[in-house]
Amino acid sequence: MIVAIIPARGGSKRIPRKNIKNFNGKPMICWAIEEAQKSKLFDNIFVSTDDQEIKEISEQYGAIVPFIRPADISDDHTPTVPVISHAVKQIDTLYKKVDFACCIYPCSPLLMASDIKKSFDILKSSDKNYVYPIVEFPHSIFRSMRQADDGKMEFVYPEYELTRTQDLDETFHDAGQFYWGKAEAWRSLKKMHSGGIGMKIPSYRTVDIDTEDDWRRAELYSQLNLT
């Protein structure tokens, strides 16, 4: 079975109720559910949550919420892998055995079904456990600087102070949208980032929504219908 699993806690602190806050006309999590539906890849789309309101809204938009996530994996410090591992095992028991699971973050309004499909093709043809979208840093991290208390600047990597940025390696960060994984990798809690393949996507198609400024930026990008 091929499933999507959307992990959506109720206890967001920096943006209260972030996962179901209205985003351009509908609850935030609904954008992720609908894009997963649009991909036409999944036998079922599940939501893992500890929150009754998130459960009800998710079900209204076509997701399945067959269990409430336990409190011990619903706090601020719980990593993604144990949450998806728990969900995969629950689905194995309640439905049938999972072969592939795509963890889709609920605050991903710029998510594209085409990226979900492309990355799944990569995973199926790979011996790696995971595939996820990545974005290039806008400026080389090897030319990054820190500032001392007196205002003086110093290079984090002083050996590259005189190196042209175009001569330095490209560096990337996790786009924070989704993670395709082989079910056995999720079940056995294998490391996600170092155990996976990165698929490059343009930086204008992702916003990591942690602050109100991030939220507004994502709204503006979404309204532009960028592809």
Question: Structural domains in the chain?
Answer: 2-133+173-224 (3.90.550.10)
Percent of the chain predicted with pLDDT > 90: 86
What is the chain's mean pLDDT, rounded? Answer: 94
List, as own/partner pairs, every contact residues 53-58 make where C-beta atoms lie below 8 angstroms and the sequence separation is at least 24, other chains included.
53/10, 53/20, 54/8, 54/10, 54/19, 54/20, 54/29, 57/20, 57/27, 57/29, 57/30, 58/6, 58/8, 58/29, 58/33
CA distance 204 to 44: 29
State residue 184's pLDDT score.
Answer: 98
CB 178, CB 3: distance < 8 Å: no
State residue 13's pLDDT score.
Answer: 76
Angle 28-39/52-60 helices, nearest 10 degrees? 40
> 116 in helix, strand or coil?
helix
When pLDDT is averaged across residues 60-76 and rounded to a whole number, the result is: 95
When pLDDT is averaged across residues 110-127 and rounded to a whole number, the result is: 97
Other Cβ atoms less than 10 A from the Cβ of 71: the count is 9
Residue bearing the bigger pLDDT, 14 or 225 = 14
When pLDDT is averaged across residues 149-167 and rounded to a whole number, the result is: 95
